[in-house]
Structures are given as structure tokens and as C-alpha cells.
């Protein structure tokens, strides 16, 4: 009788262990699924970050180009300012000479 009584207990303990293992595996599958979804979301965020970086790089390149153009314009304006100053000085000299002649 001892062997017949131990058989059902052994079967029940195996079923209990099997049930525990199935539950554990189910938990592991759920955790793995969450991790895969998290990784997918991370990929989406990395892709968006890469797109944003390209947009920022384009903006920086455009800004650099604008600064180069502004530098050229500044140089030309400085040349024009110098030319105007020379013409004003020359004009003053001519006015002085004209005053001297008219005396």
C-alpha cells in the first residue's frame, strides 16, 4: 500500500513542479516580450534622435554659410567706409583750397 499511496503524491508533486515551471516560463516570456518592446521603442527613439541631429546639422551648415556671407559683406562695407572717409578728407581739402582762392 505504501507504493500505491506514494504514486499519487509523486504524481501530484510532479504536476505541481510542472505547473510552477510553466508559470515561471510564462513569466520569462512576458519579461522577454517587454524587453523586446522596450528595445523597439529605443530603436524608434534613436531613429528620431538621428533625424533631429541631421536637421540640426543642416541648420548649423546654413548658419555657417550665412556667417561667411555676412563676413564678406562686412569687409565690403569697411572698404566703402574707408573710401567715403578718404573722399570726405579730400572734399575738406578742396573746400580749404577753394576758400583760399576766393580770399
Domain boundaries, the chain: 15-102
> What SS3 class is residue 69?
helix
25-43 confidence digits (pLDDT tens)? 888 888 888 888 888 888 8
* Distance, CA of 91 to CA of 101 (rounded, Å): 15
**pTM of the predicted model as reported, rounded to 2 decimal places:** 0.51
- Phi-psi sector, 23: left (phi>0), alpha (psi -120 to 50), beta: alpha
Assess whether pLDDT exceeds 60 at residue 14.
Answer: yes
pLDDT band at 55 (very low <50, low <70, confident <90, very high): very high
Assess whether pLDDT exceeds 60 at residue 2.
Answer: no
Amino acid at each position: 500500500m505504501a507504493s500505491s499511496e506514494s504514486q499519487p503524491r509523486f504524481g501530484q508533486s510532479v504536476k505541481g513542479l510542472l505547473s510552477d515551471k510553466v508559470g515561471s516560463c510564462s513569466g520569462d516570456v512576458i519579461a522577454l516580450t517587454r524587453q523586446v518592446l522596450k528595445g523597439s521603442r529605443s530603436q524608434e527613439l534613436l531613429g528620431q534622435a538621428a533625424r533631429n541631429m541631421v536637421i540640426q546639422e543642416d541648420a548649423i551648415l546654413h548658419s555657417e554659410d550665412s556667417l561667411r556671407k555676412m563676413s564678406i559683406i562686412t569687409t565690403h562695407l569697411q572698404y566703402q567706409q574707408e573710401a567715403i572717409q578718404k573722399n570726405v578728407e579730400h572734399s575738406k581739402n578742396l573746400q580749404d583750397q577753394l576758400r583760399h582762392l576766393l580770399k
